Structure 1
Amino acid sequence: MSATDDVDRSSWLSGYSDTVEALPIELQRNFTLIRQLDDSAQELMDDVASKSLCLMNQKTVLSPKERQQRLANIGSLLNEVLKRGEEKFALAKSTYDTVDRHCTKLDMDLQKYEDEQLIGPTMGRPSTGTSTAGSDKRPEKEEHKRKKRKQTRGRKKGIAPEVDEGQQQGEYLSAEDAKQHAQSAISLSNLPIDPNEPLYCYCQQVSFGEMVACDNDECEIEWFHLECVGLRTPPKGKWYCKNCAELLKIKQKK
């Protein structure tokens, strides 16, 4: 590695560090504004509820003009609530885009750094058995990262540890809860999603809420949202998705 490369990397790290350090301040500002808008919208809604109740319980007969004025005032308050909601959405989207932009840049730079680490040592050298072995390490590294990610996500999402004996199920969802989750999944699909974000589960959505991992190492989907598989709580033992469970039954019959 040349001195120029060291200087470039040092310069990049310094610049990126400054950007990342400023990120929490920007996010905190956005979250504070969102909270203020939310409080303001709630005050307006309380005012709407109060005036609507007053209008409905009005004992004296109002003239059509006065009644129209009160309704117009309530409508104006509701329009203000709608504006607060639109501002909150714009701030939330801006916050998402900011974080997504930083994550994408970091992913690209890390990939570039890994590529340099793999390619750099072999530059200008003849092809040997050692260099070939080095090139074969990448898939092993990716597989290790996949396993590590699986273990990490299990801890983060509260997945129960494996149990050697038996397959214990968690508490199942009611039909009403499952219906509500389906509606939530539909709403989630309308949100902007990072194209690089991996998709999971039967619903093919990003990771959210509590998730459970299929204990079949060869499972194509691997991770599932609890609600999508009809569970309310994580299973306390080994758990297999319906696809892998069917495959295991077929193998056992053979």
Structure 2
Amino acid sequence: MATAMYLEHYLDSIENLPCELQRNFQLMRELDQRTEVDKHIRRLDADLARFEADLKDKMEGSDFEGSGGRGLKKGRGQKEKRGSRGRGRRTSEEDTPKKKKHKGGSEFTDAILSVHPSDVLDMPVDPNEPTYCLCHQVSYGEMIGCDNPDCPIEWFHFACVDLTTKPKGK
């Protein structure tokens, strides 16, 4: 009698097996799609960081041109820059990296560029985590609260409101 119950239970579990396998394969497909999206986001973040570095180089290059005319060559196209980077050895003088020269105003722009939302950790963000600020990003770095009790946003990132140091007060 016990073997009959065991056999019935076994047959019932085998009948449900295809549904469970289907559900597991569907779950694996969803996880694979999520990882592909995460990889794509990481690639986009890397591209964004590279473009920000190019922008910073251009800003430093404009400081060089104004200070002594020895900086980066004007009119150099984006394709030429991309072609000379990383494919071979640098041979010409214009391809060698320049030292930073700080003027009074460039320190402020360097501080803003160094604290940018794209410098956030490269970890996946929990979709249930609340977003803040005008940029609708999650909480990271230093943030400042709004004094207005009717403010719908309440918290702002320092970089988004052009702050570099904590203001005095509460």
TM-score interval, smaller chain: 0.3 to 0.5
TM-score normalised by structure 1 residue count: 0.32
Greater helix share, structure number: 1
TM-score normalised by structure 2 residue count: 0.45
